[in-house]
Structure 1
Amino acid sequence: MAANKSCFLKESSPKMSKTYKLEVKTGTDLAAGTCSDVSIVLVGVNGESEEHRLFHKWSNFISGALTKFTIPGNEDIGELLFIRLSMQSYLNFPLDPWYCNYVNVTCPEGQTYQFPLYQWILKCESVEIPEGKGVVITKNTSPALQQQRKLELGKKRETHKWKVYAEGVPRCIDLADDDPKNLPPNEHYSFQKQADFIYTSNSTGLEVKLNGYTSNTDSWHNLEDIKLVSSLRKSGYSDIVSDIWTEDTFFGSQYLNGINPTLIKKCVKLPNDFQVNDDMVAPSLGECSDLQKELERGHIFLADYELLKDIPANTINEKRQYIATPMCLLWKNTQDQLVPIAIQISQTPEENVPIFLPTDSKYDWLLAKIWVRSADVQLHEVDTHLLRTHLLAEVFSIATTRQLPMGHPVHKLIIPHLRYTLEINAFARTRLIGEKGVFDRALVTGKGGVPVLLKKAMAKVTYSSLCLPDDIKERGMEDIPNYLYRDDGMEIWTAMERFVSKIINHYYKSDEMVKEDPELQAWVAEIFTEGFLDNESSGVPHSLENRASLIKYLTMVIFRCSAQHAAVNTGQFDFYSWMPNGPTTMKKPPPSTKGGTTMETILEALPDVNCTAAGISTVWVLSNEPMDRRRLGDYPDKHFTEKEPQDYIREFQSDLHTISTRIQKRNKTMRLPYPYLDPSHIENGVSI
């Protein structure tokens, strides 16, 4: 017996009348193993065991090890509720971290209990791991288990605190010096992912530096020169985009199947400040020359960038930059293609604000479309991508850690979809949207524009806009053909909702259980307060009354963190590596008249060489998920230990496989495929 009365146990201890058999699994990350001593206490309904120190051998806790131990079971502690793990330094060696996947315990009577952790243990203080069955707290829950959950959440609230990033914007995690290195250890990338991410970032940056692009503040002299920097890296589709970017049909298709497919909406009445008439659009509409009739038929659509109004513009390379607030009218033609038919580059119809048309000169029309694409980049990156996936996912992650203990079934359901989110978001706040970050160096919304735009965008966020079926309906996009974001997304939403429904109905046997679950209600309330800033008009729930509302809410959370992020992130290099299709800024004001545009004036308005290089290298990194990936529905960490949830997971995976097979078959027939919502390409969470 050790001095602290713990039992020092060997792998093959002497035969005892009663013993507990343990299986201890160490994670597979290269740094997961430890040479420190590990001790365990078993806690049951009748009390707890002595502390037992597990036999120390160099191979017991190396990376990937599954090691078996036995400990005495002379005391009847009853049904196991949780275990308590702790570490101590071995001899005079410093304490080194250990990543524990799980501990399985077989009792003397033969019952087996599973204790999933999948976390780092770094300190001498103990970590309590509840038994793997999901438990919703009720009045019949063991007081010992309730106390364990309170202590667990108390510790996590010390490591995961809220901080105001900017006024009117979802809160973020509070970090010392805003340094990602100061994140709690379980929020960091794995060793493999970190190494691959750093390599990709540095190698891409090195290429553009070696070619002299990052220090070149000149304008581009011709389009072919732009291909020199865009050709440093290639994707399967980037070359196709550079070939077809001037086509009106491609311009229109990006609103349906591009990187920002949630802006467009059906137009039933023209905005008062967008004075388009039949004479303007008749040549585009052809035989369908009556604009009012086309509006009534549901064939007219609008992309409105009003949100960009009054956003301060950046200064880059000591040159003033310009941001526009265009309105773009589109028509579903008789070939079921979406094409632009009128563009106004400002929200205000004035004499010096012409409405550009496809019948204008080739370069007038091209420049008008470029201005729309530049505006689209700003809304996509700040609103659609950053706010509605990254920042909301961070809110979900922090609130889950603070309010839902490991043993809660909702924690088990969504924790795979929150993996690495805090790491990538901390990186984004320092390297992308932080001072002297990529936005400051390359985007018109840098140097103070991002927080202003985020605040305006946040005021427009509604619950219905976050729920795919509701969003599609509100925008009137149910019937437009070839809307693959909608078609693929709805299949995934339906499969996800079915999976969530099975899990929730397994643990919540009535609506009353939902209403009376204090941990769940605290979680939803904290998300509403810290994420949606108590905005009642958003329609976001601050409490949940029944199982149906919980199922919808969880489907929204999981979809946002996985499929929605994939839809607005993965294709960035495909669509933006050809810079004229996605200019990060414009350095000349919008044209005030028609007829004066040439290719030279277009090139003068496009971003400088170094801005282009920064933008292309950034979207390359963000479009390529580093190693240690987990595809949608892939749950190698078995947080659910019961048979029924495991069956539901397999059914979900089967549904996703069916969707993936259909998408891959369809994409083989397309000139420019849409792979971004193929489940085999979707990451479980926001991790890049």
Structure 2
Amino acid sequence: MSRFTKFLFPHVCPYTKTSSIKGEVVIVQNSGQHSDPGKSASIQICSGTTIDPRTGRGKLSEKAYLRYGKTNTSNGEKTTTYKIMFQLEPGFGTPGALILTNQLKHEFFIQSVSLQTPNKQIIKFDCGSWVYPFEKTGTDRIFFSNAKYLPNQTPQALLNLREEELTSLRGDEKGERKEWDRIYDYDYYNDLGNPDKGREHVRPVLGGSDLHPFPRRLRTGRPPSDTDPLTESQPNMINIDRIYVPLDERLSSKKLFEVLSNSIQAAVPFLIQGAKSFLEGDSRGFESFDEMNYMFSGNRSLMVEEWITEKLMNILPPKLRKEITYESIKAPFKSPFPQIIAENEFAWKSDVEFGRQMLAGTNPARIQRLEKFPPTNKNGKIGFVKTTDVQHNLDGLSVTEALNQCRLFILDHHDYLMPFLERMIENNFHVYASRTLLFLKSDKTLKPIAIELSLPSPDNADELGIVFVPAEKDEAGALWQVAKALVVASDSVYHQLISHWLQTHVVIEPFIIATRRQLSMMHPIHWLLHPHFKDTIHVNALARNILLNSGGILEKTLFSAEISMELSAELYKEWRFDEQALPADLLKRGMALKDPNPNNPTGVQLLFEDYPYGADGLEIWTAIKTWVTDFCSVFYTDDDSVVSDQEIQEWWSEIRNVGHGDKCSESWWFRMNTLSDLVQALTTLIWIASAIHASVNFGQYAYSGYPPNRPTQIQKDIPWEGTFEYAEFIKDPDKYFLKMLPGKLNMSLSVALMEVLSRHTSDEVYLGQRSSTVEWINNEEVRQRFDKFNKELRQIEKRITERNRNPSLKNRKGPSGIPYTLLYPDTSNVELRGGVTGKGIPNSISI
């Protein structure tokens, strides 16, 4: 036995005579599965230490078949544990891999395998994968033990299997993918339009061009549409569950059932309002705030609920429809009051709350410090705000003094919107490019001091603009409220399309594809990243076919309508991977300064402590980076070990040059020449998939579930003096404000979506937790360091709770009384949970 083998397997002695290995195989039986694998499924052991001289590969055992199964049911999940026995010839060595053959007519899910060697060593395999019939795939399945190796440390006996497994996952980029394929390759976003339905459903291909750069998605290989060879054909709703996603990436049957049930429960209460208006031919919005609030608390007819539920269920594919019954959805339905109005019905109107949500709401990473007054666009064009507009609101400071003291801030929705405004206005939406200036008061709350609204001029010359300043009474106060609504509408659309969709869901998918293609399951970094990719590809596929497609929900509910994804592509031009790291993002936006203290692990210091997203985020960022550093130090000894890791180098090259190929020439990608490069890249990746997504997703119902607080469409213009609209506005400002919002059907659809997206599912796995029920990595040092990560997250939870209780930190709750918990890890809660909790950081983008 080599010195290297003795290091990896210190307790193993070569077998001197025929010996036996006992084992257990755990199979999960999902609903709809026909039968147990039984004798139709066989397993061979591949030695990880002894090479067969005839093949140059690890020695193979005889096949063992799954027999003597014992079935248990727990939490609705049925598992069968099979006993297996292998007789091994002398000198077989230590098991390193399993080769499983499925001769059944159907697939099954193998959860884990555990083997016991003659000297009582336990070797575990955390499989967690579907195995399709051999007659469909034409190949066996390979599973490696829980020992992890860098490529150049791979036992020679397993080297060929490691390479062959990766090759099979890459495919040949040809043909339409089948349900049983395990192939990961790339494609453009050419599946958003449906030109076969008419010209109004034509959408540009995103990705592969300077005009519309975009990250890549998983290729399905569906044939092109009939009328446009560049656009992929669309599955109809009846086949929505058949969109190609490798089965290991798909939502579990339990989770998909829960998401669909939640969707129906959320939709019914609000669609009752919308459907009633639609059937009566009434496209108007709500007439009063009381009528709108009735959506959340009113008594509804059970008969109507049953009727709408039945209609919604009939939309589902037949296979899914069988899983859901009216009784299982637990009618009658009642949605909770959104938190923004739960304690204080009109807190959302407050200027303090308006500013606080830029620091602690659902889009807290857009605000930035103003460095120059007056603000200008990217071409240096000066805006319309003047010193006289803001001077009286600076608590006695001059504009120069306020700038020098870092007390002026801006929420900028101007430059990126301006080129698209005319097209949006053609859709009868009233949209403005906006700049909102805010002043940091002595109590560290943000006071809005001016709102600039701009439009392109009819002759394409200079812009047209108007400035609003704060007012509390009469028509001036009501106009100020209208101006704030126009700002928030832009912020809401930016949040949904950029902060949420583009900067989490979209940018992560190429990393997932590259990881599956280039990093073996034996690679420690694959193991590190795996939980942070759970369900994301499937969620993205469903989003493209329900929410973001032509005529989809977001086109119906956002003022960007059919331009929505073009807008995402335009903002992708500004995206940089290195700036997704929280310290770099804070520095770029001027919300933090570089800290010369070498003991500060983040390297930055917040401008002011009472920035909930920044304060909590830096703690989470530090915990993730410490964990990643600890983990990598177990496997990498120095910079050379990163450079010599062929799989990591191919992985990083493919992400840059293919997955994010439209940005490959940018100098800001890490060079991946040092251990520090690797740690920073992995920390940023995990931060995006877990914390950033949690911060922009799970508070949506709390804030956007009440449309007046965060509208996504404005359907009436600013009322100008001397017009009929102005007279209508003066007569009843609240009624006019409500008429600016969408009709009941669109508004109801939007609210239902916010509730669904904000729900945690009951089987969610949170940051600092692992889902596996087996010994998930064969390394005690890694387990100890992961426990340290978990304990640190629990301490962060306590500190967040303490900050939320501190009355001097005004932005932790504000007038609405909503505590900032969107970056509360919730790791200490190990029980199954779900619902609209407003807290918890899932490991991955799984909703």
Is the shorter-chain TM-score for this pair beyond 0.5, marking a shared fold?
Answer: yes
Percent identical residues: 25
SS in 1 for 2:124: strand
1:444 corresponds in structure 2 to 559
1:653 corresponds in structure 2 to 790
Is it true that 1:24 corresponds to 2:139 in the alignment? Answer: no
Q: 1:55 to 1:380 in 2, by over 3 A?
A: closer
Asked whether the 8 Å contact 1:332–1:339 carries over to 2, the reply is yes
Which deviations, in whole Å up to 9, do the C-alpha atoms of 1:570-629 show, x marking residues without a partner? Answer: 000011111011111112345667994542433332222222111100010000022321
Asked whether the 8 Å contact 2:273–2:748 carries over to 1, the reply is no
Which AA in structure 1 matches 2:219? D
Shift of residue 135, structure 1, vs aligned partner: 0.7
Is it true that 1:86 corresponds to 2:101 in the alignment? Answer: yes
Is it true that 1:115 corresponds to 2:103 in the alignment? Answer: no
Of 466, 491, 503, 2:619 maps to: 491
For residues 241 and 365 of structure 2, the distance between their equivalents in structure 1, rounded to whole angstroms, comes to 31
1:469 corresponds in structure 2 to 583
Which deviations, in whole Å up to 9, do the C-alpha atoms of 1:421-450 show, x marking residues without a partner? Answer: 011111110111112211122111122x12
Asked whether the 8 Å contact 1:26–1:32 carries over to 2, the reply is no
Of 369, 376, 381, 1:266 maps to: 369
Which deviations, in whole Å up to 9, do the C-alpha atoms of 1:4-61 show, x marking residues without a partner? Answer: xxxxxxxxxxxx9511121223348667895123211111133323442324345369
1:41 corresponds in structure 2 to 44
Asked whether the 8 Å contact 2:557–2:750 carries over to 1, the reply is yes
Asked whether the 8 Å contact 2:70–2:81 carries over to 1, the reply is no
Q: How does 1:262-341 map to 2 (within 5 A)?
A: 262-270=365-373, 271-272=375-376, 273-288=382-397, 290-305=398-413, 306-311=415-420, 320-341=428-449
1:588 corresponds in structure 2 to 716
For residues 558 and 41 of structure 2, the distance between their equivalents in structure 1, rounded to whole angstroms, comes to 51
Q: How does 1:328-477 map to 2 (within 5 A)?
A: 328-346=436-454, 353-359=465-471, 361-447=476-562, 449-477=563-591
Which AA in structure 1 matches 2:778? T
For residues 339 and 575 of structure 1, the distance between their equivalents in structure 2, rounded to whole angstroms, comes to 19
Shift of residue 640, structure 1, vs aligned partner: 2.1
Which deviations, in whole Å up to 9, do the C-alpha atoms of 1:333-386 show, x marking residues without a partner? Answer: 122111110001127797952110004811110011000000001110111100
Q: 1:625 to 1:538 in 2, by over 3 A?
A: farther
Which deviations, in whole Å up to 9, do the C-alpha atoms of 1:168-189 show, x marking residues without a partner? Answer: 1111112245655221111111
For residues 618 and 784 of structure 2, the distance between their equivalents in structure 1, rounded to whole angstroms, comes to 23
SS in 2 for 1:310: helix
For residues 250 and 198 of structure 1, the distance between their equivalents in structure 2, rounded to whole angstroms, comes to 34
Q: 1:611 to 1:539 in 2, by over 3 A?
A: farther
Q: 1:352 to 1:556 in 2, by over 3 A?
A: closer
Which deviations, in whole Å up to 9, do the C-alpha atoms of 1:541-568 show, x marking residues without a partner? Answer: 2641111110010001111001110000
Asked whether the 8 Å contact 1:258–1:575 carries over to 2, the reply is yes
Of 632, 638, 641, 1:513 maps to: 641
Is it true that 1:234 corresponds to 2:336 in the alignment? Answer: yes
Q: For structure 1, which segment, 610-619 or 121-130, has the greater mean C-alpha deviation from structure 2 after superposition? A: 121-130
Asked whether the 8 Å contact 1:315–1:444 carries over to 2, the reply is yes
1:169 corresponds in structure 2 to 214
Q: For structure 1, which segment, 574-583 or 142-151, has the greater mean C-alpha deviation from structure 2 after superposition? A: 142-151
Which AA in structure 1 matches 2:51? N
Asked whether the 8 Å contact 1:105–1:112 carries over to 2, the reply is yes
Is it true that 1:555 corresponds to 2:663 in the alignment? Answer: no
2:147 corresponds in structure 1 to 133
1:70 corresponds in structure 2 to 85
SS in 1 for 2:669: coil
Structure 2's unaligned 5+ residue stretches are 1-16, 53-58, 172-182, 190-205, 208-212, 223-233, 298-333, 377-381, 592-605, 807-812, 827-839
Is it true that 1:147 corresponds to 2:192 in the alignment? Answer: no
For residues 298 and 592 of structure 1, the distance between their equivalents in structure 2, rounded to whole angstroms, comes to 35
Greater relative CO, 1 or 2 (CA 8 Å, sep 6+): 1
SS in 1 for 2:416: helix
Asked whether the 8 Å contact 2:62–2:86 carries over to 1, the reply is no
Shift of residue 527, structure 1, vs aligned partner: 1.5
Asked whether the 8 Å contact 1:390–1:425 carries over to 2, the reply is yes
2:326 corresponds in structure 1 to none
Structure 1's unaligned 5+ residue stretches are 1-15, 90-94
Shift of residue 534, structure 1, vs aligned partner: 4.5
1:102 corresponds in structure 2 to 112
Asked whether the 8 Å contact 1:397–1:418 carries over to 2, the reply is yes
Is it true that 1:59 corresponds to 2:168 in the alignment? Answer: no
Which AA in structure 2 matches 1:86? T
Q: For structure 1, which segment, 669-678 or 424-433, has the greater mean C-alpha deviation from structure 2 after superposition? A: 669-678
Q: For structure 1, which segment, 662-671 or 648-657, has the greater mean C-alpha deviation from structure 2 after superposition? A: 662-671
1:255 corresponds in structure 2 to 358
Q: How does 1:504-583 map to 2 (within 5 A)?
A: 504-535=632-663, 538-541=666-669, 543-583=671-711
1:625 corresponds in structure 2 to 760
Asked whether the 8 Å contact 1:463–1:538 carries over to 2, the reply is no
Which AA in structure 2 matches 1:356? F
CA RMSD of aligned residues (A): 2.6
Q: For structure 1, which segment, 239-248 or 228-237, has the greater mean C-alpha deviation from structure 2 after superposition? A: 228-237
For residues 100 and 539 of structure 1, the distance between their equivalents in structure 2, rounded to whole angstroms, comes to 43
Q: 1:233 to 1:53 in 2, by over 3 A?
A: same
Asked whether the 8 Å contact 2:110–2:128 carries over to 1, the reply is yes
Which AA in structure 2 matches 1:672? I
SS in 2 for 1:100: strand
1:11 corresponds in structure 2 to none
For residues 584 and 245 of structure 1, the distance between their equivalents in structure 2, rounded to whole angstroms, comes to 15
1:184 corresponds in structure 2 to 246
Which AA in structure 2 matches 1:664? T
For residues 578 and 604 of structure 1, the distance between their equivalents in structure 2, rounded to whole angstroms, comes to 15
Which AA in structure 2 matches 1:161? D
Q: 1:490 to 1:347 in 2, by over 3 A?
A: farther
Q: 1:296 to 1:219 in 2, by over 3 A?
A: same
Shift of residue 149, structure 1, vs aligned partner: 1.8
* Paired residue total: 664
Q: For structure 1, which segment, 195-204 or 638-647, has the greater mean C-alpha deviation from structure 2 after superposition? A: 638-647
Asked whether the 8 Å contact 1:226–1:579 carries over to 2, the reply is no
Shift of residue 474, structure 1, vs aligned partner: 1.6
Asked whether the 8 Å contact 2:714–2:742 carries over to 1, the reply is yes
Which deviations, in whole Å up to 9, do the C-alpha atoms of 1:507-526 show, x marking residues without a partner? Answer: 11121111111111111122
SS in 1 for 2:123: strand
1:612 corresponds in structure 2 to 747
For residues 32 and 626 of structure 1, the distance between their equivalents in structure 2, rounded to whole angstroms, comes to 23
2:821 corresponds in structure 1 to 675
Which AA in structure 2 matches 1:662? R
Q: 1:137 to 1:592 in 2, by over 3 A?
A: farther
Q: 1:155 to 1:31 in 2, by over 3 A?
A: farther
Which deviations, in whole Å up to 9, do the C-alpha atoms of 1:389-425 show, x marking residues without a partner? Answer: 0112222211111111111111000100100001111
Shift of residue 65, structure 1, vs aligned partner: 3.6
Which AA in structure 2 matches 1:196? E
Is it true that 1:662 corresponds to 2:771 in the alignment? Answer: no
For residues 49 and 111 of structure 1, the distance between their equivalents in structure 2, rounded to whole angstroms, comes to 19
Asked whether the 8 Å contact 1:330–1:338 carries over to 2, the reply is yes
Q: For structure 1, which segment, 571-580 or 303-312, has the greater mean C-alpha deviation from structure 2 after superposition? A: 303-312
SS in 2 for 1:133: coil
